[in-house]
């Protein structure tokens, strides 16, 4: 998503092909994923998940994904 945004800003014609119209992230129950619209900021998703279940999301690898994907890596 971030790469698409950057390329579009540079004037490239960018298309995205996925399997649906939402971003679905795991939840304790596999039958009820966390669902976000495409284009939702990573920071918003991370804050939302952290609020819903801090123990699950802050201690899991998904928090590292959000830090990496949002460009906020710590060296």
- In tens, the pLDDT along 27-57 reads 777 788 888 888 788 888 888 888 888 887 7
- Residue 62 and residue 35 in contact, taking contact as beta carbons nearer than 8 Å: no
Q: How far apart are CA 54 and CA 51, in angstroms?
A: 6
- In tens, the pLDDT along 4-28 reads 777 888 888 877 666 677 878 777 7
* Statement: the pTM of the whole predicted model exceeds 0.75: no
- pLDDT of 67 strictly over 70: no
């Amino acid at each position: 998503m971030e790469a698409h945004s950057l390329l579009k800003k540079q004037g490239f014609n960018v298309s995205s092909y996925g399997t649906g119209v939402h971003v679905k992230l795991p939840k304790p129950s596999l039958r009820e994923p966390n669902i976000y619209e495409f284009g939702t900021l990573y920071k918003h998703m991370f804050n939302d998940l952290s609020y819903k279940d801090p123990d699950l999301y802050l201690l899991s690898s998904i928090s590292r994904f959000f830090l990496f994907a949002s460009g906020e890596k710590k060296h």
